[in-house]
Structure 1
Amino acid sequence: MEPQDKIMLVVDDMELNRAILNELFSSSYKILEAENGKEALKLIEEYGTSIVIVLLDLIMPVMNGFEVLRHLSNSGLIEEIPVVMITSESSEQAILEGYNLNATDVITKPFNPDIVRKRVENTVELNSYKQHLENKVQSQVDTIEKQSQELEKVNNFIIDTLSTIVEFRDVDTGQHVKRIRMLTKVLLYAVVSEHREYAMSEEDINVISSAAAMHDIGKISIPDHILLKPGKLTKEEFEIMKTHTTKGCKLLDSLNYVKTSDYFRFSYDICRYHHERWDGGGYPDGLKGDGIPIWAQVVGLADVYDALTRERVYKPAYSHETAVKMILDGECGIFNPVLLDAFLKVQDIIRLDEELLNEEMPSASMSVEVLPEEKRKDTQMAALKERTLWLLEMEREKYRILAELSGEVIFNYDLQKDCVEFSEKCREQLGCEEYIENFSAYMEKNICVYPEDRQEAEKLSYLPKRKHPNGRVQVRLLTARGDYEWFEINAYVLTSNEGAHENIVYIGKLSNINKQKLEKEKLRIDATTDNLTGLCNYKNVKDMIRKYLKAGHGGVGAFVFIDIDDFKAINDTFGHLAGDSVLKAMGNELKKLFRSSDIMGRIGGDEFIVFIKDIDSDILLAKKMDELLRKVENIRIKEDNSCRASVSIGLSCCPRDGKDYRELFIKADKALYDAKHKGKNQFTIYNAELETRGHATVLTKFD
């Protein structure tokens, strides 16, 4: 790469600093300059990974260096563009935060130009080597995958050859192996997508589908007069025919093959058990239920369906509808209800695949009319076009049915055309059309994304710039019912170049996770909320007050410690239900009297804390406490109004009486004790005189 092909971005609000760095590196790099983080992000968006390094200052107006690092981390670009912080901020905390945000190196000002130049060159060189290594590893992976695919083709050819030898003895076409393999794969996908108890990987499904070709390998040992008999077999002949399952297993056992491999295990199970039935009415071992391996059950159903819909020496071919009815009626044995349900859901896919596999090509022995060269080419092109259309239609139908089975909304969004295509589920879940033009305007007009979640959704716009262009976000979307529910959006970006234009297409799915989100939120609320009053529990209220005080907020507020008078007597005299009723009423009064921004919680049996934010007037506090005392007096313990509740209140003020939670709690506790000592049903605001009076603190009970 030529020096001027390498781009360096220098980000610093001081023009002099930028000039120094420009002069230092201009002979080796093309220099871009930005005076704040916002300008830097615009340049990074424009130039992308053409920028080989960013020299970033921390303290800047508009947007500081830490915010730039967060944006680059969220977009994934930090993995591809190294960032070196050059700053006068030398505190360990700032440097550590920079490294935590994935900065590659930190250089403090003032710096030695020669050392900086060398450290930057090393960083660029290491990143270049890393990219080269990643590309090389990916190239090796691609090569291995290609070799693996070629090896799989050879293996399939050998399997098909062996299996077809058996099939030709059985007077079937060589297509039987392909049909069984196709039917097995489609049925397995349908079963595992609906039933976790039958979970298996895609690799397992591919191996099982390949092993399905071995299901009738044992027929090679069945005499021709039985195997090819055009009529019904006698009882003795059928018993011999049934031995093809065990003889096939003996044949597999005799092969010099690793018997612990998945392929051998699947082949053996399929060969032996594909004639077993759900109710135990099959052979050779009379297994029943899930005692039969699911892969053998699937191949058994595929084999029965294929036998019914093909002409055999002993029967004509039945239609798809007739075959399905015979299977459901149990005329071919009883199958797993789960398997039958999956079979019905994918029968359209099976029929399409069958039609494609049944397309017969002219054999070499057939006489062909000699056509002029041009006409022959037209005929070939027409045939090719027709087959292509069939293939496209089949894939479209598979896509539709699988999308329907998944219960998710599949989407395809063209960024340049600004149009989106959804699967059919979009009407049911989102209440929108399957195809929408001017999608950006549609989203704005209908407020499809919950306003607070728009920033999260916009993360997907960074995907085209990432090395691995896939991502996932969780946002609330407008549903067909008119409310917002939580969805997880999984998206992948496909790019292609047409002329001078780059086409960007997002494909992915929308999964409704509202139920999981609500359950998680309920668990969070249960863990942080007092169930009886609906206020915060002690741990939560303590954490919230500490967080508020630590954040500063001007250091103004009041710590209110409330205790219900004679609460034990209420429980002892009127019972715990009456006591609970008083606690609930107390919680309701606090919610009505104080702002939602204030912090309120029940911290013990009859004790409450309220932290009133942004209040610094004792007069206003006194007025608020008088109002609270009056409200509490309206809480009736008995219906006849003969007994009413009251509270004692202690207050401390921030920052006058302290700036941390513990200090404010201790002083509010002393004020509460004073209010109790004076006769209850009143409040005391902390003052220095209270320090001269001894009292028992409740703080140790909670802290």
Structure 2
Amino acid sequence: MQHKKKILIADHSKRNRSLLSEILSPRYELLRAATGVEAVAILGRHYADIAAVLLSLELPKISGFEVLSIMNRNHWLHNLPVIIISTEIVSDNLDRAYELGATDYIIWPFDGNTVIRRIQNSIILYTKQKHLENLVTEQIMEKERVNSQIVGILSNIVEFRNGEKEQHVFHIRIFADLLLQALRQRAPQYHLTAGYIALIVNAAAMHDIGKISIPEEILNKPGKLTEEEFEIMKSHTAIGAKILEKAPNYSETELLRVAHDICRWHHERYDGKGYPDGLEGEEIPIGAQVVGMADVYDALTNHRVYKTPFTHEKAMDMILSGECGAFNPLLLECFLDIGDILVKELATRSPQTVSDLDVQRVASELMAHSELQISGRTVTLLEQERIKSRFFSALTKEIQFEYDRGTGILEFSEWGAQYLGIPELIHNPFQSLDLAAWGTDAAEDMRRRLKETTPRNPIASCNYCLNVRHEPRWFKAVARTLWDSEEQPTFSRVIGKLVDIHEEQTKLNALKELAERDSLTVLYNRKTAQEKIEERLSNLQGRNYILVLIDLDFFKNANDIYGHVFGDSILKFVAHNIQGAIQWEDIGARIGGDEFLVFMECQGNEEELVEHIFHSVAKKYETFHISLSVGAARCPADGTEYNKLYHYADIALYAAKNSGKNRYCFYNKSFPDFPSEHTPIDGPQKENKNFSDNPSNQEFSACT
């Protein structure tokens, strides 16, 4: 039984969709869309299977005109007839629809037979055009196969006389193909179309055709050539060029002209020290430059009568270092790009696959620039669907999404859209309010990561905290870009997944927070404080800071008299008071047993800030009066590096201890220096076990 052709009905009116469905369902399989966004999404998924589109111009979200524009940008209109359905004739609308690529225009009301006949006529017309295109494509490909076979025969004759392996030309073509593809991405100034690359790769097979006139005793001499013999050998470049010049239809045949340039100039070098004409730089045709490098690489890595083969790595080093002559710096960069791929391709590709690839490229290129354009889009879609299917098959219980860059539509899986509380289809997602709740930072970050992908590195991933149904949740986003094989490859689609990792990320964040904190006081530990301070110091932007070191005087008395549990309570009390005395963006840390650190921004009187911290901490805990010595260093006045600020604050703390404790000191250059080993000095009083000797009523003072 023959399958029904698919028709897409895109109309905002449910009544109109029902009427058209009743007329067409006996003959066609129907796809329905109520909005322009839905229509474009269906076209993106089923374009290759749809036979015709019935399109209303009054579609919501994006209009019928916009749908036609999107179809134009994606080259869908070339193989897909679009029939406009309208309730009235408006000449401006009619003209605009035809200009955008509509095939026909039907006005409501109409009878069923009229609709069916107009659809059938449009489908038949497009089917005949496709058949004609296929015939032309087959003729082009057959012609290119014949050309490729003739070139192969000629090159094999030369290789046979030269005593080289029959793989030489095959290797040259693979090297040239890979190098030109890499160069096309780096250097648009060379205008390397797919067809022109295939032309150079084909012509490369004839680079040594002039050797057919060189005596075999010179070609296959195992030792070094004499000067006279070398001059004879060098003549193969000019001889090969003359052979091609005398070929029938030389001036009208681009393949022969490109082969001529390669034959004559593939031994020229970028610095002008090659032969036969001493061309320099861009005077050398790019095809000759590429084949010249390919010829050198293959000679280095394969056996010759006069040498044993070098490794791939050694050959690369020799070429890049200039041992084999000067090459175009851009080509050397491309050579580095393809280094690893080259070895794999030389080992796995066969001569037949190279020939078939060249034929397909030439046929596609010729058809792309003719009035009858080959429908390579279908092949691309099938390949993308294959990649997508394989990618998604590995996913389980994940939110799947797909973004079509041509249509500007982001599509989520049905389950994923419900879970996230958003529509399945979102047009222009980066400007859409439907994603605004997620926050612009996450969207812009993913957009940047996608722009940084390449055909060789198409994966982008990151973790994001998204606002889902007014609740923050952590997701891992992984996306893969799909690329069009155009002159300058750009990604046409994105497929990906969002994995809910909220529980795992929450636990990870908690563990990270735990690792950053002192277990007793819950202030930052020393390592974390240093990292956060160094981060602030790396981006001062005119801000002033103070680094403060705090040491508790006579703390050993509290442990010795009341026990360590009481001592721990004092430490927690001090930490609580420090946290209360600073702003949320300031940094408080416990850096040792009874030693603390504060790093805070100073926008006013720095002495008032330090004095505020001092009095916030120097309080009574139960019956124990807390005494402390404090040292402070200013940033940027005293330094802008963490180690230097810490060292100066340590010196100031030492001065406070030596001045009688229970005071604070700012660093002064007059203070004696010492290696910064933070070993607070409590003096003889600290050794006194009698708690009554603790200077609870000692007068506070500041030293300068």
Q: TM-score, normalised by structure 1?
A: 0.46
Q: TM-score, normalised by structure 2?
A: 0.46
